[in-house]
Amino acid sequence: METMTLANGLAIPAVGTGTNTYGKEGNRYHGELNGDFSALRSAIKAGYRLIDTAISYRNESGVGTTILESGIPRKEFYIITKIPAEDAYIGSKDLVEQTVMKSLENLKTDYIDLYLIHHPIKDKEKLKHTWEVLESFVDKGQIKSIGVSNFTIEMLEAVHNFARIQPAVNQIQSNPHTWNHELIDYLLKTNIVPVAWGPVSKVTPEQIDKLDKIAENYGKNWVQVLLRYQIQRGVVVIPKSHTEEHQLSNLELFDFDLTKEDQFVIESL
């Protein structure tokens, strides 16, 4: 698996699997938890090692159990989770600390590779104390890297002003509906690795036609071309699938390079 390098020197796999509908009735985000982690088992079997979960997905525990039961050594995995920007979790330093400890317990691990603030915290004091607690977990080695999600440039600059440890990543939406090109350019310039969520979502039939045309030249499919575009510009992707065939093909991204012209067509979709 190809990796990208974070500002702290640690590697992050270039492709991971999302999990936000895993372990849920009807494969729906808001579905009842049903303990069915067959899709995650199949992703791990296909070769995914970066697993992206979050407290809001309500499935940290099932994700942790599935990883443990895979029998694959913990150090081969790259686990991401996220703290919700809600007072119940970030209202005080003690709450943040309890939240991280609970994630470690749920995920059944001694350390978490990447811990993110899931959404912007508007209250500056709460943002600061949340970040400070995350930094203290890095000091203790229980979190390897810390970052944010859905942060704008302005919000990142607010963190930059007080952070002892700068955010390693910003996980944001990026797909043909909402590329976030400007934000991604800023992240790449400031050495914050962008992670694209929803990378396969919101693509119109017309856009798929254009991607299909490009894909034909490489013997690939439209999703592979879309994901390759992101990786080629330095963006980590975390597509999620409940279909084994898709999980496998979404990993086949490293045996071709898009030309400048094709990258331009995709960028302008």
* Chain positions contacting ligand NAP, by CB under 6 A: 18-20, 52, 149-150, 171, 197-201, 223, 238-243, 246, 249-250
- Work out whether the CA dihedral 86, 97, 105, 195 comes out positive or negative: positive
Cβ at position 48, least distance to ligand NAP in Å: 12
Q: Is the dihedral of CA 32, 37, 42, 48 positive or negative?
A: positive
Residue 112, beta-bridge partner list: 143
The residue whose Cβ lies closest to ligand NAP is 18
Closest C-alpha to 50, from 220, 169, 188: 169
Nearer to ligand NAP, 100 or 199 (CB): 199
Distance of closest approach, residue 246 Cβ to ligand NAP, in angstroms: 4
Residue closer to ligand NAP by CB (options 136, 256) is 256
Distance CA 201, CA 116 (A): 22
Q: Which is nearer to ligand NAP, 136 or 232 (CB)?
A: 232
Report the distance separating Cα 94 and Cα 134, nearest Å.
Answer: 12
Toward ligand NAP, which CB reaches closer, 27 or 92? Answer: 27
Distance CA 103, CA 148 (A): 16
Q: Identify which of residues 245 and 261 has a Cβ nearer to ligand NAP in the complex.
A: 245
Q: How far apart are CA 267 and CA 269, in angstroms?
A: 6
Question: Could you give the 3-state DSSP secondary structure of residue 106?
Answer: helix
Between CA 238 and CA 18 the distance in angstroms is 5
Q: For the CB of residue 21, give the shortest distance to ligand NAP in the complex, in Å.
A: 7
List, by residue number, the catalytic residues: 57
Euclidean distance between CA atoms 79 and 69, whole angstroms: 15
Q: How far is the CB of 52 from ligand NAP (least distance, A)?
A: 4
User: In 3-state terms, the chain is what percent helix, strand and coil (to 5)?
Assistant: 45, 20, 35
Compute the least distance from the CB of residue 217 to ligand NAP, in Å. Answer: 18
